[in-house]
Amino acid sequence: MTNLNTIHIIATTLFGIAVLHTFFAFYFEGLADRSQNHTGLFHLLGEVEAVFGFWALVLVIFMAFIHGSTRPAISYLESRNYTEPLFVFAIMVIAASKPILYTSKTIVLALSKLLEKLFKLPTAIANYFVTLSGLPILGSFITEPAAMTLAAFLLRDTIFSKTSSTKLMYLTIAVLFVNISIGGALTSFAAPPILMVSAAWDWDTAYVFQTFGIKATIAVLVNALLVTIVIHKELPKVSSAHHQDQMPLWVVLTHLIFLLAVIVFAHHPVMFMGIFLFFLGYTHAYSSYQSPLILKEALMVAFFLAGLVVLGGLQQWWLQPLLNDMSNTAVFYGAIALTAITDNAALTYLGSLVEGTTEEFRYALVAGALAGGGLTVIANAPNPAGLAILKDYFPQKAISALKLLLAALPPTAIAIVAFKVL
C-alpha cells in the first residue's frame, strides 16, 4: 500500500471519528464536571468547536510519521484554502459588535411592531418570527455567517437567556440552522454551497434567485411560522419598548462600512483581514461605543472550520466517485445525507469537479446541500458560529448532536418539499 493510500484511509478514519466526536461532545462535558484530575482535557474534548481542529492535528502527526518528515505534512497544510475560516472569523467579530447589533435589533423591532399592528400579535411572537425568517433571508445580502451571528445574538438576548426549556432551545436552533442554510440562496455569493460552484457553472444572481431563491424564501417563512405556532406558549415575554442605549449615527455607519467592506472582499483574505485589523484599531480608539468583541468565540469557530478544511481535503477519493454513480434523485437525497457528515460547500465543490454534468444534476446537488445544511453543526459553515454563541444556555453548556439532528428533521423536510415540489 502506498503512502498516499495509507494517508487517505487514515484521513477518512479520523474524519469519521471527528464526526462521531461531535455527537458525543456533551458526554465529555459531563465527564469534565465529575473529574478532578483531567477536567481541562475533558473540557477540551467537550468543545465542539475544537473537535475538527484536534483531529486535524492528529492527521498531521500521522502524515509526518508515515513520511518520516514534517515537510509533506506542511506542504499539504499550505495547499489548503483557509479563506472561509478567516472570513467567518472576521465577519463574526464585526457583525457581533455593539453598533451592528444595535442596528439589527432596531430593524427587527420595527418589523415586529408592523406585524403586531397588522395581525394583532404579541410582541414576543412577532419578534421571534421576524428573527427566524427575516435575518436568514437577509443572509443572502450580508452573507450567511453574518446573518447567523446577528440572529444568534438576538435569540440569545430574547429567548435563550430567559428560558430553561430545552424543547424551545433545540427547536429554535434547529430552525435557525436550516433557515440560514436555505435563506442565503437568493444570491450567488452568500451561501457557501452556491458560492463554490457559481463561477464554475456560470451561475449569476438572477439565475440563482429564479432557480433557488423563491423556493428558499417560501421554505424559510413556512419553517419560521410553524415553529412559532408550535412553541408560542413557551416564548418568554418581550417588552415592546425600545430599551437600547442610543448609538450615534456616525458610529453605526462606520461599523456598517467595515461590515460591507469585508463582505465585498470576501474572496480576498489579504484585503478583508487588513480591513479587519483596521476595525480592531478603530474599536480600541472609540471603546466607549463598544462592548467586548467576541474574539475567542470567533477564533474557535475559525479553528473548527480550518480543521474541517484539513480533514475534508482528503475525502475526495471516495466522495467524487460516489457522486458520479448516482442518479439525479439519488444525488439530491444523497447530498442531504452527505451534508450531515461533511461541509455542504465542500460537497458542492467536489460536484463542480465532475465533468459533463447536466443542469438537473447540478440543481439536485446544490438543492440537497442547501436543504441538509441544518442537520448537524458541521453541515454548514455558519453553524459553528451559532453554536459558539448559544451553547452556554443548554444543559451542561453543550448541544447534543443527536437532539439537534432530530429537531432539524421537520424544517429540513419543509426545505426538501420546497426544492422538490415547488
pLDDT in tens, 101-130: 999 888 988 999 998 888 888 889 999 999
71 shares its domain with 92: no
Overall number of domains in the chain: 2
For the segment 149-172, the average pLDDT, to the nearest whole number, is 94
d(CA 350, CA 90): 26
Could you list the residue range(s) of the whole structural domain that residue 11 is in? 3-82
In a domain, 42, yes or no: yes
Segment 127-142 shows an average pLDDT of: 94
Decide: residue 5, CB within 10 A, 0-12 exposed, 13-18 middle, 19+ buried: exposed
Q: What cell does 407 get?
A: 429537531
pLDDT, residue 39, reads: 76
Report yes or no on 208 lying in a domain: yes
The mean pLDDT of 150-161, rounded to a whole number, is 93
What DSSP string describes 89-139?
HHHHHHHTSHHHHHHHHHHHHHHHHHHHHHH---HHHHHHHHHHHHHHHHH
H-run or E-run covering 330 = helix 328-339
Given 284, 304, 324, which residue is the final one in a domain? 304
Residue 353: is its pLDDT beyond 80? Answer: no
Answer yes or no: is 110 within a domain: yes
Please determine, for residue 288, whether its predicted confidence score (pLDDT) is greater than 70.
Answer: yes
Say if 323 falls within a structural domain.
Answer: no
Mean pLDDT of 8-14: 93
Shared domain check, 219 and 169: yes
Task: Give the pLDDT band of residue 398 (cuts 50, 70, 90).
Answer: confident
pLDDT at 192 over 70: yes
Count other Cβ atoms within 10 Å, centred on residue 35.
Answer: 14
The whole-number pLDDT of residue 211 equals 96
Same domain, 69 and 167: no
| Grid coordinates of 404 | 439537534
Angle at 180 between CA 139 and CA 304, to 5 degrees: 100
pLDDT band of 238, cuts 50, 70, 90? low
Q: Over 70: is that where the pLDDT of 350 sits?
A: yes
- The candidate with the shortest Cα–Cα distance to 394, out of 43, 29, 41, 42, is 29
Residues 186 and 44 in one domain: no
Q: Give domain status of residue 178, yes or no.
A: yes
- Structural domain ending residue among the three candidates 34, 61, 82: 82
Question: Most distant CA pair in the chain: distance in Å?
Answer: 70
Confidence of residue 243 (pLDDT cuts 50, 70, 90): low
Range of lowest pLDDT (22-26, 51-55, 255-259, 315-319): 22-26
State which amino acid sits at residue 164. S
Residue 229, pLDDT score = 96
Residue 348, number of CB atoms within 10 A of its CB = 28
pLDDT given at position 217? 97
Higher pLDDT pick, 182 / 88: 182
Q: Is residue 133 part of a domain?
A: yes
Mean pLDDT of 408-414: 97
CB atoms within 10 A of CB 166: 14
Which is more confidently placed, 308 or 411?
A: 411
Percent of the chain scored above 70 by pLDDT?
97
Q: Tell me which of 82, 110, 131 is where a domain ends.
A: 82
Percentage of the chain beyond pLDDT 90 is 59
Taking 70 as the threshold, does the pLDDT of residue 397 lie above it? yes
Q: Is the pLDDT of residue 324 over 90?
A: no
Instruction: Indicate whether 254 belongs to any domain.
Output: yes
Task: Give dist(CA 196, CA 71) in Å, integer.
Answer: 29
* Average pLDDT taken over every residue of the chain: 90
Mean pLDDT value across residues 171-199: 92
Closest CA to 235 of 330, 129, 339, 328: 129
Tell whether 377 is covered by a domain: no
Confidence at residue 364, expressed as pLDDT on a 0 to 100 scale? 95
